[in-house]
Amino acid sequence: MKAACTTSRASVVAARVADLLATPEQARAWAGERWWPQSLAQGAAGVALLHIERTRTEDGPWSRAQAWLECAVAQGVDASPAAHLFYGAPALAYVLHRAQSVRPEFGPQLARLDVAVDRIITARLEHAQERLAAGVRPVLAEFDTIRGLTGLGALLLARDEHHPHLPEVVSYLAALTEPLTVDSEEAPGWWARVGPGGKEDPRFPAGHANTGMAHGICGPLALLALALQRGIAAQECAEAMGRILDWLDTWQQGDADQVWWPYWITRAQRSGAEKVVGPQRPSWCYGAGGVAHAQLLAARALGDAARAERCRAVLHRVFTTAAVSPVVNDASLCHGYAGLALLAHTTGTGRPEDLLAPAVGGGDAHTLATELISTGGIGLLEGAAGTALALHTLTGPAPEAGWAGFLLCAPTGGTRG
């Protein structure tokens, strides 16, 4: 009865969020200064995806998706090398890829975006190869899921797993895992010269090694695993994943009741001068949920049954305790209940409806929807559009999350059409 109640409320709350975000004009006041139309994470592109998926299931009119797509491109589309999966031409390409199955007439626009994305990836790879050749430490935006080549690789997997750039991205990520020398000491190749915020930070004078799915090495691990499953650069993928998994094993913390990994490792922590911090929030972006999920993908790709079983146990523990955990305190895809529900659905190690229950508990649907928007914003990654998308797709009669390839936690693989 509880599950049925959650499912019913989830559908109603999702519909109410969609109503409140029916048009850009309605949402403009909610967004305030966080109004970035080309953003998949926080802007019109992400809200369009919510309405596209609701149109796909015949739960919303196409006119809403159309209005948001028009808003996303109204001021032009950034096709510079600074664009990435969550902003600009790649973000629009991802959204139109999902839209094309509902509206095939988007083919020509998508083809033009593909050309722009190809140029962006070429420039990004050239810059990364120059940095590798120079032996300089990377910045997070070079390789991570949100702004880097891992995210662009996720787009290629979704659009066309046979794309000629995909093996190049995979080879780059494999090279990223090769050790480099930092102040006369060997360090992992993803040891960034910046802080976790992506910029020079006096609190991280020697940089850091980031663990997370969003900005750390677990994003590349997940993409390498998905590539290996498709037979792409098999030896490179396997060797690179081995290096990443060894690092994660070294820094695994806790016991059988609570396994966790630090968000990042500093030079002082690596030397033993400081202790690692945790356990922290077990979300998609950082923490045990995302890290164990990436390792599970790797274990499946490598045929490592023992690691896969350990990861399933960690995920099961995360999902059974998250609803009562004080460190999980919002409903978002990025670091809240919606993201955990998506991981539970993808891995089959938890009940999405239980994880979504805190997002729909208490109050009427309008109040809940209003709170989701007012506290998290309109966006897909950290806001109400993403939560509503999870509520809509994960608690329906036939849960399906093909839209979630941008988080590297849904089945991917397509052919351009």
Please give the structure tokens belonging to residue 341. Answer: 């529900």
**Mean pLDDT across the stretch 35-57?**
95
pLDDT at residue 299 in the model: 97
Helix (H, G, I), strand (E, B) or coil at 78: coil
Is the dihedral angle over the CA atoms 109, 120, 167, 92 positive or is it negative?
Answer: negative
Taking phi over 0 as left and psi of -120 to 50 as alpha, with beta for the rest, 139 belongs to beta
Q: How confident is the model at residue 413 (pLDDT cuts 50, 70, 90)?
A: very low
- The alpha-helical segments, DSSP class H, found in 74-148 are 89-100, 107-134, 140-143
Confidence bin at 32 (pLDDT 50/70/90): confident
DSSP string, 162-192: T-THHHHHHHHHHHHTS-EEETTEEE-TT-B
pLDDT score, position 410? 63
Is residue 71 a known part of a binding site?
A: no
Alpha carbons 59 and 183: distance in angstroms, whole number: 57
196, 204 contact by CB (below 8 A): yes
**What pLDDT, on a 0 to 100 scale, did the predictor assign at position 213?**
98
Phi-psi region of 286 (alpha: psi -120 to 50; beta: other; left: phi over 0): beta
Domain ranges of the chain: 137-327
pLDDT tens column, 246-268: 999 999 999 988 999 999 999 99
Predicted local distance difference test score (pLDDT) of residue 289? 97
Token pair 């969020």 is found at 17
Which pLDDT value is given to residue 5? 54
Mean pLDDT calculated for residue range 293-322: 96
397 φ/ψ sector (left φ>0, alpha ψ -120 to 50, else beta) = alpha
Task: Give the pLDDT band (50/70/90) at residue 4.
Answer: low
What gap in Å lies between CA 53 and CA 181, rounded to an integer?
46
Q: Is the pLDDT of residue 388 over 60?
A: yes
Average pLDDT over residues 127-156: 97
Contact status, residue 14 vs residue 388, Cβ threshold 8 Å: yes
Strand boundaries in 256-400, DSSP class E: 258-260, 264-266
Structure tokens at 246: 């060894």
| Structure token pair of residue 50 | 């919510």
pLDDT of res. 31 = 83
Between these two residues, 94 and 256, which has the higher pLDDT value? 94
- pLDDT tens for residues 54-80? 999 999 999 999 999 999 999 999 999
Q: At residue 414, does pLDDT exceed 60?
A: no
Q: How far apart are CA 74 and CA 379, in angstroms?
A: 18
Neighbours of 36 (CB within 10 A): 18
Rounded to an integer, the average pLDDT of 374-402 is 93
Q: Which residues pair with 265 in a beta bridge?
A: 209
Q: Is 416 a residue whose pLDDT tops 60? A: no
pLDDT at residue number 3: 55
Give yes or no for a contact between 155 and 117, defined as CB atoms under 8 angstroms apart: yes
Measure the CA–CA gap between 127 and 264, rounded to whole angstroms: 25
411 — pLDDT class (breaks 50, 70, 90) = low
- Residue 417 pLDDT: 45
The residue with greater pLDDT, 277 or 51, is 51
pLDDT band with cut points at 50, 70 and 90 for residue 116: very high
- Per-residue pLDDT at 257: 86
| 81 to 36, 118, 139, 270, 343: CA distances (angstroms) | 18, 10, 15, 34, 31
At 415, the pLDDT band (50, 70, 90 cuts) reads very low
Query: Binding residue per annotation — 334?
Result: yes
Q: What is the mean pLDDT of residues 36-53?
A: 96
pLDDT over 80 (residue 34): no
Specify the fold of 137-327.
Glycosyltransferase (1.50.10)
The pLDDT of residue 166 is 97
Average the pLDDT over each of 121-125, 325-329, 402-406, 412-416 and give the range with the smallest value.
Answer: 412-416
Instruction: Provide mean pLDDT across the span 124-130.
Output: 98
Torsion of CA 67, 69, 75, 80, to 10 degrees: 180
Percentage of the chain beyond pLDDT 70 is 97
* Phi, psi for residue 214 in degrees, rounded to 5: -75, -50
Name the average pLDDT for the chain.
93
218 is in an annotated binding site: no
Tens-place pLDDT, residues 168-215: 999 999 999 999 987 788 999 999 999 999 999 999 999 999 999 999
- pLDDT for 305 equals 97
